[in-house]
């Protein structure tokens, strides 16, 4: 039998072995399967599109995939693999900021073609019209009826060099890099996933993760094809709107493998009224990765759903990164519980591991660290601890193996992730240690921030702060992640120039800084702390000490130093909203709706001085997919209306959202006979 060269080879094998078996299904409404395909029907679509791509001369070229969630993306990605087109899966832009980032990536990857659906062509054309290379860009719809026409000769085929796709980050940095994944990388990592999570052709995989993220794409969609399993998909928006849809789908479709970042397990517990009838006994693997894994979260989830069939031993904490294709560690014995160790906090902060006895409690002196499992065979992981370290020491995690990428696009020798020698190891930038054969990740060497499963680099945020307001000192802002109610949050500490200290407009500076950070990285700060000159801790050489800065913030050391008042307690902000809600019960005044939104945004975005304007874009204010779902849930609960999550993105601006809410309020109110609203 010929050795499979690409993931498309596994699709062919699946279609031959079980042609009528369901390959993919998409829960269009978040609960029931709508569009679906068998292995045979999927292969037919993939081969037809692959022939079209070859005939268009796209083989060997990078091509962007811009699709809504659904099976069209799956078909297009697999067709690229079959036709040896270098796929570049991307997020679907929802704002001008997203379009700007997309333009940067198009230029970086030097793409000439975008694959999408016919329904999105006009939107993409409009959004990219100001992009400098727009005239040379071909936007190609791949709907079945579009393929029936003539084949455009767009490019001249080139050698693929064995490349499968380019994995860009989800917008975590100002200038994201594209990790180049070869067919060898992909198939090697698929074998590691199979070994780690013990999936097979009988497995039923469920995913609500974004299709363009490595965990959603490689760990779910492509892994199902590799195994010959069934994969059910749901939009991330549907999950964030009602997290329990995830667990209900696991029950309904007897899912065996599913998971996500740590925060998704907390969301399920927080949103479950404990009355939903569930049977989670089919769930064999509940992986937890992409952000720091917390023992308290897993213990809480396991206890909450134990009576509904969830087994604590189903948890699989894991560790990986895009430069290693996906998975690095996660192996544990079949049926075994996840491992954790209690370590001394003070020693941990000094780069040492001091284990505490099991009977000791996690408090200010001790903290639990969760094992990311063992490293599977085929991946070589080492810890670069300081040479003077004694006992179990913390060091940078470095790795080697066939899953490790050759480098960043466009694969220039100077951008290689490792050297060409046999002793080449990839420095991950993550810190950790190995204990009893298990890998424990303790932090980030370069203080990479991981918030809600996304990576943010401090220097990108700090660079944005430098130009946010004339009163801010350049190179004097520290972006740190702090834990607030068991969630990582962004805090920015910024120094004010001495010349501005006498007549300081604190509200204007904080507003400008927060907006600039949102524009730069798409994340709103939880808190902005303004301090005087030279108040941020630095090394003797003048480098910012971000870890020390985060520690001082959590200890409250900045409370006396800060030039601004701390954000209002939630209770005080809530009272302002309550008063506005009482008025809204008797009137549908748009100005009152805007005031209500302003108080709501001030609370949720932790910006007490925020002043909303009708033309403010929601994405620019920091309303990402997670906050959009929280916003919709709060609006529906407060106002007794029924908004859908997609309406938030359709509204796009504050003024548009106000108008949408106003209509929803009238629709929700009982109308007198003959006065009903015609829609």
What is the Cα–Cα distance from 26 to 447, expressed in whole angstroms?
A: 38
Residue 610 burial by CB count (10 A; 0-12/13-18/19+): exposed, middle or buried? buried
Q: At what angle do helices 7-17 and 39-55 cross, to 10 degrees?
A: 140
Q: Mean of the pLDDT values across residues 114-142?
A: 88
- H or E element at residue 379: strand 379-384
Other C-beta atoms closer than 10 Å to the C-beta of 36 total 17
pLDDT over 60 (residue 262)? yes
pTM flag (> 0.85): no
Model pLDDT for residues 164-204, shown as the tens digit of each residue: 999 986 443 345 789 999 999 999 999 999 999 999 999 99
Query: Is the CB of residue 553 less than 8 Å from the CB of residue 491?
Result: yes
From residue 275, give the alpha-carbon distance in Å to each of 271, 300, 576, 637: 11, 17, 32, 19
Q: What DSSP string describes 167-207?
A: EE-SS-SSS--EEEEEHHHHHHHHHHHHHHH---TT-EEEE
| Percent of the residues in the chain that have a pLDDT greater than 90, as a whole number | 44
If you count DSSP H runs as helices and E runs as strands, how many of each does the chain have, helices first? 22, 26
Residue 78 pLDDT > 90:
yes
The CATH superfamily assigned to 322-444 is: Luciferase; Domain 3 (2.30.38.10)
Q: What is the dihedral of CA 83, 88, 92, 96, to 10 degrees?
A: -130
Token representation of residue 172: 């975590």
Region 556-561: mean pLDDT is 81
Angstrom distance (rounded) from CA 675 to CA 668: 13
* SS3 call for 367: strand
- What are the pLDDT digits (tens) for 425-453? 999 988 899 999 999 998 777 666 878 77
State yes or no: pLDDT of 258 exceeds 60. yes
Res 541: pLDDT: 44
CA distances for 347 relative to 83, 340, 438, angstroms: 53, 17, 19
Residues 307-321 have a mean pLDDT of: 96
Map out the domains of the chain as residue ranges.
7-241, 322-444, 449-555, 570-668
d(CA 395, CA 352): 9
Q: Of the candidates 403, 396, 406, which has an alpha carbon nearest to the alpha carbon of residue 379?
A: 403
Which class in CATH covers the domain with range 570-668? mainly alpha
Q: 493 forms bridges with which residues in the sheet?
A: 478, 529
Rounded-to-integer distance, Cα 232 and Cα 31, Å:
11
Q: Tell me the C-alpha distance between 175 and 153, whole Å.
A: 32
Which of 49-58, 102-111, 276-285, 457-466 has the least mean pLDDT? 457-466
CATH class of 7-241: alpha beta
- Cite the DSSP H helix spans in 493-589: 506-521, 546-555, 570-584
The domain 449-555: what is its CATH number? Answer: 3.30.300.30
Query: 6-46, pLDDT tens digit by residue?
Result: 999 999 999 999 999 999 999 999 999 999 999 999 999 99
Mean pLDDT of the region 202-227: 96
Q: Taking all residues of the chain, what is their mean pLDDT, rounded to a whole number?
A: 85
Beta strands in 251-290 (DSSP E): 257-260, 285-288
C-alpha distances in angstroms, 397 versus 328, 413, 453, 634? 11, 23, 20, 42
The 3-state secondary structure of 614-652 reads CCCECCCCCCCHHHHHHHHHHHHHHHCCCCCHHHHHHHC
Can you tell me the mean pLDDT for 142-152? Answer: 74
As a whole number of angstroms, the distance between CA 258 and CA 280 comes to: 11
Q: Which of 115-129, 136-150, 300-314, 320-334 has the lowest mean pLDDT?
A: 136-150
Bridge partners of 218, per DSSP, are none
Q: Is the pLDDT of residue 146 over 80?
A: no
* Tokens describing residue 198: 């013990």
467-470 contact pairs (CB < 8 A, 24+): 467/516, 468/509, 468/512, 468/513, 468/515, 468/516, 468/517, 469/508, 469/509, 469/512, 469/513, 470/497, 470/500
Band (679; pLDDT cuts 50, 70, 90): very low
* Mean pLDDT confidence for 486-513: 87
CA distances from 351 to 61, 388, 431, 617, 658 (A): 45, 12, 9, 43, 51
Burial tier of 585 (Cβ tally within 10 Å: 0-12, 13-18, 19+): exposed
Give the pLDDT confidence score for residue 464 in this predicted structure: 83
Q: Are 532 and 495 contacting, i.e. CB atoms less than 8 angstroms apart?
A: yes
Q: Decide if pLDDT at 540 tops 60.
A: no
């Amino acid at each position: 039998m010929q050795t499979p060269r690409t993931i498309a080879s596994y699709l062919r094998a699946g279609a031959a072995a079980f042609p009528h078996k369901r390959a993919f299904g998409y829960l269009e409404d978040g609960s029931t399967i709508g569009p679906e395909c068998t292995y045979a029907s999927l292969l037919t679509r993939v081969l037809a599109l692959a022939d079209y791509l070859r005939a268009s001369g796209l083989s060997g070229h990078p091509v962007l995939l811009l699709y809504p969630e659904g099976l069209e993306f799956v078909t297009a990605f697999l067709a690229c693999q079959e036709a040896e087109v270098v796929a570049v899966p991307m997020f679907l832009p929802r704002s001008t900021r997203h379009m700007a980032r997309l333009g940067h990536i198009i230029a970086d990857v030097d793409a000439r073609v975008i694959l999408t659906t016919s329904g999105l062509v006009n939107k993409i054309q409009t959004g990219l019209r100001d992009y400098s290379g727009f005239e040379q860009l071909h936007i190609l719809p791949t709907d079945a009826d579009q393929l029936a026409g003539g084949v455009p000769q767009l490019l001249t085929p080139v050698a693929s060099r064995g490349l499968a796709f380019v994995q860009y980050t989800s917008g975590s940095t100002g200038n994201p890099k594209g990790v180049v994944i070869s067919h060898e990388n992909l198939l090697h990592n698929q074998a590691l996933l199979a070994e780690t999570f013990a999936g097979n052709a009988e497995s039923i995989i469920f995913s609500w993760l974004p299709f363009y993220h490595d965990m959603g794409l490689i760990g779910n969609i492509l892994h199902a094809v590799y195994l010959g399993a069934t994969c059910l998909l749901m939009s991330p928006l549907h999950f964030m709107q009602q997290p329990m849809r995830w667990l209900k789908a696991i029950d309904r479709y007897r899912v065996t493998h599913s998971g996500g970042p740590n925060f998704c397990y907390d969301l399920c517990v927080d949103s479950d009224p404990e009355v939903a009838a569930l049977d989670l006994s089919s769930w064999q693997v509940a992986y937890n990765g992409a952000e720091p894994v917390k023992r308290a979260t897993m213990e809480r989830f396991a206890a909450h759903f134990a009576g509904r069939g969830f087994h604590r031993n189903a948890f699989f904490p894991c560790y990986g990164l895009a430069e290693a294709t996906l998975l690095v560690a996660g192996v544990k014995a079949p049926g075994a519980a996840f491992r954790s160790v209690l370590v001394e906090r003070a020693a941990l902060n000094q780069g040492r591991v001091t284990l505490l006895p099991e009977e000791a409690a996690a408090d200010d002196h001790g903290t639990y660290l969760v094992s990311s499992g063992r490293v599977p065979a085929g991946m070589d992981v080492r810890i670069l601890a300081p040479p003077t370290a004694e006992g179990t020491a913390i060091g940078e995690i470095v790795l080697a193996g066939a899953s490790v990428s050759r480098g960043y696009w466009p694969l220039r020798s100077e951008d290689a992730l490792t050297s060409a020698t046999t002793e080449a190891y990839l420095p991950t930038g993550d810190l950790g240690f190995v204990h009893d054969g298990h890998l424990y990740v303790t932090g980030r060497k370069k203080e990479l921030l991981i918030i809600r499963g996304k990576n943010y680099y401090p220097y990108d945020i700090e660079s944005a702060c430098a130009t946010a307001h004339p009163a801010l000192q350049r190179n004097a802002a520290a972006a740190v992640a702090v834990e607030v109610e068991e969630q990582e949050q962004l805090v920015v500490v910024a120094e004010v120039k001495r010349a501005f200290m006498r007549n300081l407009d604190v509200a204007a500076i904080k507003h400008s800084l927060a907006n600039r950070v949102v524009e730069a990285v798409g994340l709103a700060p939880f808190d902005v702390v303004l301090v005087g000159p030279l108040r941020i801790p630095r090394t003797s050489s003048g480098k910012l000490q971000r870890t020390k800065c985060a520690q001082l913030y959590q200890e409250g050391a900045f409370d006396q130093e800060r030039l601004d008042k701390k954000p209002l307690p939630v209770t005080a902000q809530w009272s302002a909203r309550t008063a506005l809600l009482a008025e809204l019960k008797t009137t549908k005044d748009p100005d009152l709706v805007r005031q209500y939104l302003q108080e709501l945004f001030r609370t949720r975005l932790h910006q007490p001085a925020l002043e909303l304007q009708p033309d403010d874009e929601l994405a620019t204010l920091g309303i990402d997919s997670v906050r959009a779902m929280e916003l919709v849930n709060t609006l529906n609960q407060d106002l007794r209306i029924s908004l859908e999550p997609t309406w938030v993105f359709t509204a796009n601006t504050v003024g548009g959202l106000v108008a949408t809410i106003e209509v929803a309020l009238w629709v929700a109110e009982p109308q007198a006979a003959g006065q009903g609203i015609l829609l």
